[in-house]
Amino acid sequence: MSNKEDIKRQVRAAFDFRMAVRVYNDQKIPQEDLDYILDAAWLSPSSIGLEAWRFILLENEAIKKALKDASWGAEYQLETASHFVLLIAEKNARYDTDSVRESLVRRGVGEGEALSKRLVTYESFQKNDMQIADNPRALFDWTAKQTYIALANMMTAAAMIGIDSCPIEGFNYEKVNSILAQYGLIDQEKEGIASMLSLGYRLRDPKHPRSRKPRAEVIFNDQPR
Ligand SMILES: Cc1cc2nc3c(=O)[nH]c(=O)nc-3n(C[C@H](O)[C@H](O)[C@H](O)COP(=O)(O)O)c2cc1C
């Protein structure tokens, strides 16, 4: 059994290993490793436990080819990655939809007064706090934002076992959605692409060292600046 310091070292090593990989070698990720990475998405947290997402493991070469023309940020990745995950977010996840109601039932809130009370809270949350209830774009952005947690968890899980990845939002959303609808992967009325993730094994190490702002420029305590 690893102790805490060992685990911290392993997690830190995974963050140091992870970089955005744009060109992969031809090694394929074993199915059990893919399942482990997808579990990281599945088990990710979501606002109000909504899970307003789906993760599509893309293996069909024809779909990848179609997506390439609409995805400037994924050109080489679509050609070379072992696997591709599409992160799909639900549209119109309003407080008064089955989706929200079902998420509460799934979480054991029950059907009665407790459920109604919670829905009133969520109505106010979406109307007054986030001010997204009557704006389809804002509602989609809300669920899409949550998929980024799953995106990050997949990247970290992959890096922990030496698998490379790259998050992708460099594509035309309208075109990608219509391609996915055309191949029967999404219902455009109800959902849309939020981001993509390429997975595989790097062809070569990076030419340049990782660059980050100095830690002190992004991590603060609560003293006034
Ligand atoms: C939300 C998001 C979207 C990104 N989209 C793309 C993309 O479309 N194509 C690409 O090659 N890299 C993409 N990247 C990778 C970033 O350019 C990269 O993570 C950043 O430059 C930092 O480098 P590093 O990941 O190697 O540390 C994206 C990263 C994030 C977090």
Give residues (CB < 6 A) around ligand 1.
19-20, 22, 73-74, 166-170, 210
Residue 15: Cβ within 10 Å count? 12
The total number of structural domains that make up the chain: 1
Helix axes 98-106, 113-124, angle to 10 degrees: 130
Phi and psi at 85, nearest 5°, equal -115, 130
Tell me how far the alpha carbon of residue 28 lies from the centroid of ligand 1, in angstroms: 22
Residue 214: Cβ within 10 Å count? 7
Here the CATH number for the domain that contains residue 182 is 3.40.109.10
Tell me how far the alpha carbon of residue 191 lies from the centroid of ligand 1, in angstroms: 23
Q: How far apart are CA 149 and CA 154, in angstroms?
A: 9
- Flag whether 102 is in a domain: no
User: What integer pLDDT is reported at residue 117 of this predicted model?
Assistant: 93
Residue type, 88: I
- Flag whether 201 is in a domain: yes
Q: How far apart are CA 198 and CA 176, in angstroms?
A: 15
- Flag whether 113 is in a domain: no
169-187 residue pLDDT tens = 999 999 999 999 999 999 9
Confidence of residue 208 (pLDDT cuts 50, 70, 90): confident
Boundaries of domain holding 81:
17-93+136-205
